Chain A
Amino acid sequence: MSFYLRRVAFYLVTLWAAISLNFLLPRLLPGDPAAIMLGKLRRASGGRPLSEETIEAITSILGAGKDMSLWDQYVAYWGRLLQGDLGVSSTRYPASVADLIAAALPWTIILVGVATVISFLLGIIVGAWVGWRRGTALDHLVPVTTVFQSIPYFWLALVLVAVFSVQLGWFPIVGGYDVFEFPAGPEPTWAFVGSAIYHAILPATTIVLSSVGGWLLGMRNMMVSTMSEDYVVTAEAKGLTPRRVRTRYASRNAAIPSLAGFGIALGFVVAGSIVMEQVFSYPGIGKLMIQAVQGLDYALMQGVFLVITLTVLAANFFMDLIYGFIDPRVRHNG
């Protein structure tokens, strides 16, 4: 049991460190969000002098911290965090960060999540098969998939859009759903779900295409080395069916290292795929992150980083527990 207690304690400390870093990092960046917003406001208003009221309203919300010590800000930050208040976005003023994240998160989790799972399963299953039949024509799958992985992702996505959406017209060009058909936004109907799935196919394909190669290669190589293990040889010698040797003896053990990688990949699902979201105007969270960083939107930046940190930690924690369960060796220390 103490294995699990140690893990919990470890993750709590990591969590505290991550949240504190999340507070500190944006403050080390140059630039002042209030100054940026005032500057843009001034340009946008065509030279109208900004009233005292306006300047005050903006600096009080965004410029906080000039007169406060770092420690007081840190305490206030924890206080707000514990109440679930992530602050107000300056680039989307006055929208709340929590609302922005809540709207973006489901899209990212579903699309990138499903794509990651598909990519993993595909890589593992095909990889196991390719490893099993090593040395045959099937081995050519390895270089083919790794080529897709080495093509810069944005290029791959742009080419697929140019061919399948613009030229052939098979898939939509942008969006998470058909904004022409559902001008009022998401609604709980099957037609909408269908539209969302249809819009997800091409972006998901790009993610799977660009990531399946890694899983496949890893699995194939593990499979090859597992098959020279004594217990596999013994199983074959016992006269078990090749199918049983492949699935129960070789694949199961070969997949264990990939599972650890899968845990990390799952954690990063929430970070979204910034490029994919940019190319497809997909309403996900990666884009919020980019916008926040570019616009020096501290609150949004912190909110997004926090959510990403929490999920990465949670996914790792979960995989740690699972791993300890599947592979008892990790529960013994030293």
Chain B
Amino acid sequence: MTRTKRSFAVALAAGAAAIALGMTGCTPSAGGGGDDASVLRVWAGSATPINNNFNPFAVDTAVHATFGVIYEPLFFFNQLSADAPVGLIGDSYEYSEDGRTLTVTIKPDLKWSDGDDLTADDVAFTFGYGSNKSEQFVSAEATDATTVVLTYTEPQFTSASLTLGSTYIIPEHIWADIDDFMAETNPEPVGSGPYVLKSFSDAAYTVEANELFRDGAPAVTEVQYLGLDSNQSSQDLLTTGKIDWVGQFIANPDAVTGEGNITTQNLQQDPTTITTCANADLGCEGAQTDPAVRQAIDVAIDRATIADKAFAGLAGESSPSFTLQPRDEQWLSDPELATSPQEANAAEAGAILEAAGYTKDADGFYGTGGTAFEIDLFSPDGWTDYNDAAKLISEQAADAGIRINARTVSDAEYWTPIQSGDFQMALYGLTQSIVADPYSNYHEYFAGTSTAKVGETPLVGQNYARYSNPVVDGAVLAAGATQDVATKQAAYATIQAEIARDLPYIPVVLNASQSFFNTEKFSGWPSEGDLYAAPLPYLAVANAVVLSHLTPAK
């Protein structure tokens, strides 16, 4: 008898959550969920069953506490500011003149959580182990107990945030015996971070203060990470005071913050774009391979309406320069490129297309030889903000005489074509560079070296637009080989002019990422005036920095 219900299952839509939202918003019953007030409870987004995996090399499948909380990189790069990185294990670092040698000094008298000494040998071992060895890596040598010298074949100026900020230092005395680093689950992690694993189950796991942590054990003695399967559950637990910190989308944040004990922050960093398969030379097919069509779409869409209707007014304005403003202020070459047009201009879109030789067919849609072109735009089913945005884009483009068909696909059908290039346009989120320098955006998404022919997956980089432009490639190479600000600015100006004209990725909005945290039970959270780290519980390293700043409020 419940069989019909099961087929409804898949239809568990966000719409249902919205209904309950209205009901839960009223007067939540207060009350502490747990017994011990000093335990901080987090939902970092994991669903049950939680994977028992603390392998710092499993960046996609290991649990959140692995990154920063248990294992640490050398330095912390705050993606919210342009300030110099903060030393964790590392104390200072210096590049050689040619950028091929990097000398790192680590702090003295460090300990692993099992009591062994953490020395430069461990750091050197880490850089020569597993997937940390990049193509350009030559050697890592510990010259004394606190100094490590890393040598590469190419200048490494631009990879500081990867090398120093997201290479997790592992103890040699344990990992030296592990051969298959990808299949390792590391259920008893020994790290250097502020916390050590206390208990694990597939519904929740708990970490406790590391007594051997270099700055002394953190004030919050226990942190419990929960596995939850829906945003609605998390929101319910938040309003009833049972969890203290979550990073999730809540369309109506007032429903949670109304009581005053929960505070929210909304950071807008990662650009959502219409990623196009842009390069006919590499095998892309469709009208969107013509830059004029992409330019027309760029001016035909009404970003203000999209941000408002599809993203609940929480998204930010994206920039065709793919810099993050105001953080990357010094790298923006032209103030015109600070943000994309926010309002639709159908007339301009039409003019661009007509100048490129397109004419309207009987129904008013542009095409050649009397047949209108049609472009396919897909987004993953159930990502309601993306689905709504795609629908709006399709309608707005139609007003300008451009036929875009929005459709939704399953998760599986989403990732594969994007990587293989077997698509025309997709709504796709790019990842913002985590340092105040757009280099990684340009290298990752726009460089010809980061792409591959249609049908193949890029081996390096994520240039899924298949964009390839020798001018951009030259400038990316030039910017990567120098630390000189003026040279870099010149290179970036070239890149920005090219990509803002060619638009292989048509910027739509900057995604909202909301965090909610309990300021009544814990103090020391990042605030408007002191954004020492992004308060997102799923963000590697920043989460640990926040945790070690907190104190129980009583």
A→B interface (CB under 8 Å): 29-32, 35-51, 53-54, 57-58, 61, 91-95, 100, 103-104, 116, 119, 149, 152-155, 158-159, 161-163, 165-169, 173-177, 179-186, 207, 210-211, 213-215, 261, 265, 268, 271, 273-275, 277-281, 283, 286-288, 290-291, 293-296
Contacts and interface: CB of A to CB of B under 8 A. Distances in A.
A165 B201 contact: no
B487 interface: no
Contact of A31 (B51, B130, B415): B415
B48 A283 contact: yes
Contact of B60 (A35, A37, A261): A37
Contact of A57 (B29, B162, B180): B180
Interface size class on chain B is 35 or more
B230 A94 contact: no
Q: Among B5, B130, B200, B242, find the residue whose CB has the most chain A CB atoms closer than 10 A.
A: B5
B182 A174 contact: no
Nearest to A297: B412
B48 A152 contact: no
Interface string B114-147: 0000000000000000110111000000000000
Given A53-B130, A165-B240, 15 more contacts: A32-B416, A37-B60, A44-B60, A53-B131, A94-B53, A95-B185, A158-B20, A162-B20, A184-B201, A185-B199, A215-B1, A279-B229, A281-B48, A281-B203, A286-B9
B25 to A, nearest CB: 10
Interface string B38-81: 01010000011101110001111100000000000000000000
Contacts, number: 263
Nearest to A30: B413
B369 interface: no
Contacts of B204: 179, 183
A54 B182 contact: yes
B448 to A, nearest CB: 15
B1 A261 contact: yes
A204 to B, nearest CB: 12
B130 to A, nearest CB: 7
Contact of A278 (B12, B226, B415, B434): B12
Interface of B: 1-3, 5-6, 8-12, 16-17, 19-20, 23-24, 26-29, 31, 33-35, 39, 41, 47-49, 51-53, 57-61, 130-131, 133-135, 161-162, 166, 180-183, 185, 198-206, 224, 226-230, 232-233, 236-237, 239-240, 242, 410-413, 415-416, 418-420, 431, 434, 440, 443-444, 457, 459-462
Given A95-B53, A104-B49, A180-B34, A49 B200 contact: no
Nearest to A56: B182
A215 to B, nearest CB: 6
A291 B418 contact: no
Contact of B29 (A169, A174, A210): A169
A37 B12 CA distance: 25
Of A94, A183, A294, which is in contact with the most chain B CB atoms at under 10 Å from its CB?
A183
B20 to A, nearest CB: 4
Contacts of A268: 2-3, 6
A290 B7 CA distance: 12
13 contacts: A44-B60, A46-B440, A54-B57, A93-B61, A159-B23, A166-B236, A174-B229, A179-B226, A180-B242, A210-B5, A278-B229, A288-B49, A294-B412
B2 A94 contact: no
A53 B233 contact: no
A173 B12 contact: no
B542 to A, nearest CB: 13
A51 B130 contact: yes
The 4 A-B residue pairs whose C-beta atoms are closest, nearest first, are A185-B201, A296-B412, A274-B9, A214-B1
